[in-house]
Amino acid sequence: MSHRVVSLIASATEIVCALGFEDELVGRSHECDYPPGIGRLPACCSSKVKVEASSKEIDDQVRSLVGDGLSVYRVDPDLLNDLAPTVIVTQTQCEVCAASLKDVEEAVCELVTSNPVLVSLEPMALGDVWKDIRSVASALGEPERAEDLVARLRGRLATLEARTRSLGPRPSVGCIEWTDPLMMAGNWVPELVEIAGGTDPLGEAGKHSGYIEIEQLVEADPDVIAIMPCGFDIERAAQEMAPLVARPEWQQLSAVRNGRVAMMDGNQYFNRPGPRLVESAEILAEFLHPDHFDFGHFGRGWIWWDTSERSRRRRTG
C-alpha cells in the first residue's frame, strides 16, 4: 500500500526516509533539508520568526509568540489540501521546533479533505526517539522496518559506549544550546554525552533545555564546552558568539583558557531527534577523546573554536 506523506518536522522527515519511505513523501516543512534532494518537495509551513536576527532578538520573538499562545510557525492549509496527504507527521515536544499538533489539526479541520492520519511525535529522551520511529513505521503499515532501524541505531550506540567505558577519566561537558541568553542542552543530549564518554553537570536528561546564568556555568566549570545552538550550523553559531565572549566570566572558564571549546552543527545533528543522533554521539566522542576516535565528522559536524590555524585541523590534548 502506497502513502502520501507530509512531514512538518525535519527529524520526522529523516525518520521517514531512514525507514525507506522517501519516495512516498509529498510535502515537508521549510526546515527539512536532509537527506539531500528533499528540498524538491513543497514546503507546507513557514516561520513567523525573523531568523536573520541576532540570538537575543530571536529568543525575544519566540518568547513573545509562545507567551501569547501563538505558534512560531504558519501551516498552509491550501497546499496541504492540494497535496492530499494520507499521513501527516508533526510533533508536540516543542512548539519552537516545528509546526505544533494544534496548528496541523486546525489546518486539517479547516480544509484538508483527504482525511489524513496525524502522527504526533514527542521525543524527550533517546527512548522516546525509538518510540517515535515505531509510531511512524506503524502509521505507514511497516512496523517491522522500525524494529530493524532501531536495532541498528541502538547497536551502534552500544558499540560506542562500550569503547568509551574502557577509557580513562570522563571529562565534564558544558553543552550550550543557545548563547544569548545562555541555555544548556537537555532532553537526549546528556545521554549522548554519557555514551560518548563524558559527564554533563548542567543538562538534565529527559527534561527540556533550560536557561541558566553564566555564573552557574562558571561554578560548574566544565572541562570542555560544546556550542550547539538549535537551528544554527557551525558558521552561524560562530557569528553569534560575540555576546558570550564579551562576558568577563567567559575568560574564567577552564575550557576557554585551555582551548577546549568546540563549535558543533546543532541544526543538522544534536537538535534533530532522529537517526543522526548516532552521528551526534560520534561527534562528541571525537571531541572528548580525539586520541581514540575519528569518525570523519571533524570539519563538517564540528570544529575547534578559535581563530588560529589549529581550528582548521584535528588536534589532541
Domain assignment present for residue 164? The answer is no
The answer on 175 and 301 residing in a single domain is yes
- Domain end, chosen from 149, 184, 212, is at 149
pLDDT digits (tens, 9 = 90+) for 11-60: 999 999 999 999 999 999 999 999 999 999 999 988 777 777 888 887 77
Across the range 175-203, mean pLDDT stands at 95
Task: Tell me: do 140 and 180 sit in the same domain.
Answer: no
Structural domain contains residue 115: yes
Contact 281, 292 (CB under 8 A): no
pLDDT, average across residues 299-305: 94
Are 174 and 270 in the same domain? Answer: yes
Distances in Å between the alpha carbon of 118 and those of 49, 157, 222? 25, 30, 42
The predicted pLDDT at position 210 comes to 87
Say what the pTM is.
0.91
What is the rounded distance in angstroms from the CA atom of residue 22 to the CA atom of residue 37? 10
| Same domain, residue pair 178 and 307 | yes
Cis peptide before 42 (omega within 30 of 0): no
CA within 13 Å, CB half, 204: 6
- Say yes or no: 226 and 188 in one domain: yes
Claim to verify: residue 60 and residue 194 sit in the same structural domain: no
Which amino acid belongs to residue 63?
Answer: R
Which range marks the domain in which residue 138 is found? 5-149
Q: How much is the pLDDT for 311?
A: 44
| Average confidence (pLDDT) over 283-299 | 96
pLDDT score of 16: 98
Average pLDDT over residues 180-207: 95
Residue 156 lies in a domain: no
Q: Which of 118, 149, 180 is the last residue of a domain?
A: 149
Q: How far apart are CA 24 and CA 2, in angstroms?
A: 7
Classify strands 261-264 and 302-304 as parallel, antiparallel or unpaired.
antiparallel
**Residue 16 placed within a domain:** yes
Helix (H) or strand (E) holding 256: helix 254-257
Q: Give residue 60's pLDDT.
A: 76
Asked, for residue 317, whether it belongs to a domain, the answer is no
Give residue-wise pLDDT tens across range 126-143. Answer: 999 999 999 999 999 999
Residue 109 burial (CB < 10 Å; 0-12/13-18/19+)? Answer: exposed
Cell matching residue 97 = 521546533
User: Are both 35 and 122 inside the same structural domain?
Assistant: yes
Q: What is the share, in percent, of the chain residues with pLDDT greater than 70?
A: 88
Closest by CA to 283, choosing from 300, 267, 271, is 300
CATH of the domain at 121: 3.40.50.1980
Q: Torsions phi, psi of 45, nearest 5? A: -150, 165
Number of structural domains found in the chain: 2
C-alpha cell of 7?
Answer: 512531514
> Do residue 223 and residue 260 come from a single domain?
yes
Query: Do 22 and 144 sit in the same domain of this protein?
Result: yes
